């Protein structure tokens, strides 16, 4: 991809109206554009990262036997009245009357929709368990949207719902999903911890959160100085670690996922049932599993960025290599750089713009593609390859540089 062709509106200074590091950098590097508070356009580079994060999540879920669907954003009030959530969520759910005086709202979660879908499907014991997920843009009327893409009014979620014949079957699947989630974070280069969450609104509900320690987080966790014991502050604030006696220290963290075991709450409240082996209708056991995809992009930005700009792990980077044509560019040099790009057009971004080397180098650091490859007359037939994360530089042949990127 040629940089002159793709739209990357970098700025010389960080966005002044963005208090968060991820919001500042993602805008300055041309990954996103703020339309209004908490609402962003995803520009070509940002969308590529978002799609690569989604692809990793999708791959892991498919391997775990989940099936992808897509549910609508527009919600009828009647459905949400069944669980009392229309009223309960009215502060954060966008709700209004349409022209025909019907109350409609925008979904920030989809339990009611999928439970309604499943109860109408006339399921038998042969049809379950079922686990279905979607990647869907959610809406939430955030009073303060100051955390960049970590907390938007419009944000992309992977949400997922599983349906089971018994509490035992649900518990097994629920535990398995914890391992799936930890694997997802690992592939994204994030060190996430699973933490038991507070009971919440539902009596029979269990809930776990996945947390990444980071100063940008809005959550607070207690971590034992000595070991790996971690506890949510909502469950009390012990000063001594219950397992080793070490001191517990409070740290900020970002919630990068949450899962809920609702037991038979939805099965009974919304009468979502299946026919068992004896022909009797029984309530289904339901759990839900959320991961904020836009939030993950913001988290990776917060955790890995340095003073020069963004730093993307190769698994989610918009490109593997950023080729820069610098200095006096003759035809032969341009052709070498263009041939390099043409050999991996989906994975190499070629800065072919007519701007100064300093400008190109600054933009490359800001954008944060894993490897920068400099084509200049000074290096002759060779290229200078610098790893963005470490700053390590090697002088390689073009073939060696290509092999390096192909191995990612």
- Binding residues for its own copies, rule: CB under 8 A, are 4-7, 9, 33, 35-36, 39-44, 47, 50, 65, 67-76, 79, 91, 94-96, 98-100, 104, 106, 113, 116-117, 120-122, 126-127, 130, 132, 137, 139, 141, 143, 153-154, 353-354
Cα–Cα distance between 255 and 232 in angstroms, integer? 11
Nearer to its own copies (CB atom), residue 142 or residue 387: 142
SS3 at position 91:
coil
Nearer to its own copies (CB atom), residue 224 or residue 316: 316
Question: In whole angstroms, how close is the CB of 128 to its own copies at the nearest point?
Answer: 10
Nearer to its own copies (CB atom), residue 74 or residue 407: 74
Q: How would DSSP label each residue in 308-374?
A: TB----TTT-S-SEEEEE-SS--HHHHHHHHHHHHHSTTTEEEE--SS-HHHHHHHHHHHT-SEEEE
Q: Strands 130-139, 67-68: parallel, antiparallel or unpaired by DSSP? A: parallel
Nearer to its own copies (CB atom), residue 71 or residue 329: 71
Question: In whole angstroms, how close is the CB of 274 to its own copies at the nearest point?
Answer: 13
Cα–Cα distance between 312 and 46 in angstroms, integer? 11
Spatial CA neighbour of 114 closest among 323, 322, 267, 335: 267
Question: In whole angstroms, how close is the CB of 42 to its own copies at the nearest point?
Answer: 4
257 DSSP β-pair partners: 210
The tokens describing 119, both together, are 């109860």
Question: In whole angstroms, how close is the CB of 69 to its own copies at the nearest point?
Answer: 5
Which residues touch 147 (CB under 8 Å, ≥6 apart)?
Answer: 19, 20, 22, 23, 216, 218, 298
Question: In whole angstroms, how close is the CB of 44 to its own copies at the nearest point?
Answer: 5
Write the burial class of residue 127 (CB in 10 Å: 0-12 exposed, 13-18 middle, 19+ buried).
middle
b vs e for 69-83, b when ≥16 Cβ sit within 10 Å of the residue's Cβ?
eeeebebeeebbeeb
Helical segments of 89-128, H only: 111-119
Nearer to its own copies (CB atom), residue 100 or residue 203: 100
Question: In whole angstroms, how close is the CB of 113 to its own copies at the nearest point?
Answer: 6
The tokens describing 346, both together, are 């989906």
Nearer to its own copies (CB atom), residue 150 or residue 212: 150
Nearer to its own copies (CB atom), residue 197 or residue 272: 272
- Is residue 349 a contact partner of residue 302, using CB atoms and an 8 Å limit? no
Nearer to its own copies (CB atom), residue 23 or residue 217: 23
């Amino acid at each position: 991809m040629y940089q002159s062709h793709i739209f990357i509106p970098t700025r010389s200074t960080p966005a002044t109206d963005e208090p968060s590091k991820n919001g500042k950098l993602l805008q300055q590097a041309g990954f996103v554009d703020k339309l209004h508070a908490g609402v962003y356009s995803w520009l070509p580079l940002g969308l590529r990262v978002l799609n690569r994060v989604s692809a990793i999540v999708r791959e892991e879920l498919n391997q775990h036997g989940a099936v992808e669907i897509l549910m609508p954003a527009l919600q009828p009030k009647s459905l949400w009245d069944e669980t009392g959530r229309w009223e309960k969520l009215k502060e954060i759910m966008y709700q209004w009357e349409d022209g025909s005086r019907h109350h409609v709202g925008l979904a920030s979660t989809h339990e009611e929709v999928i439970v309604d879908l499943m109860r109408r499907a006339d399921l038998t014991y042969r049809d379950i368990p079922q686990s279905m997920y979607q990647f869907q843009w959610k809406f939430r009327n955030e009073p303060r949207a100051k955390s960049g893409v970590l907390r938007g009014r419009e944000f992309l979620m992977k949400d997922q719902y599983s349906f089971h014949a018994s509490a035992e079957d649900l518990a097994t699947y629920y535990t398995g999903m914890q391992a799936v989630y930890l694997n997802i974070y690992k592939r994204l280069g994030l060190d996430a911890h699973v933490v038991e969450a507070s009971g919440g609104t539902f009596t029979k509900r269990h809930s776990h959160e996945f947390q990444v320690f980071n100063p940008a987080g809005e959550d607070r966790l207690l971590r034992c100085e000595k070991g790996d014991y971690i506890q949510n502050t909502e469950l009390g604030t012990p000063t001594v670690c219950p397992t080793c006696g070490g001191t517990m220290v409070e740290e900020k963290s970002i919630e990068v996922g949450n899962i809920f075991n609702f037991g038979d709450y939805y099965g009974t409240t919304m009468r979502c049932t299946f026919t068992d082996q004896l022909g009797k209708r029984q309530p289904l056991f339901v759990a839900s599993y959320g991961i904020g995809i836009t939030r993950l992009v913001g988290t990776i930005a917060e955790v890995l960025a340095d003073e020069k700009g963004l730093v993307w792990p190769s698994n989610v980077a918009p490109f593997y290599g950023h080729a820069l044509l610098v200095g006096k560019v003759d035809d032969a040099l341009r052709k070498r750089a263009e041939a390099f790009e043409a050999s991996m057009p989906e994975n190499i971004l070629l800065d072919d713009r007519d701007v100064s080397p300093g400008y190109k180098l600054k933009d490359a650091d800001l954008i944060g593609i894993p490897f920068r490859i400099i084509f200049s007359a000074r290096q002759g037939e060779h290229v200078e390859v610098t790893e963005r994360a470490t700053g390590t530089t090697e002088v390689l042949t073009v073939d060696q540089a290509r092999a390096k990127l192909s191995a990612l």
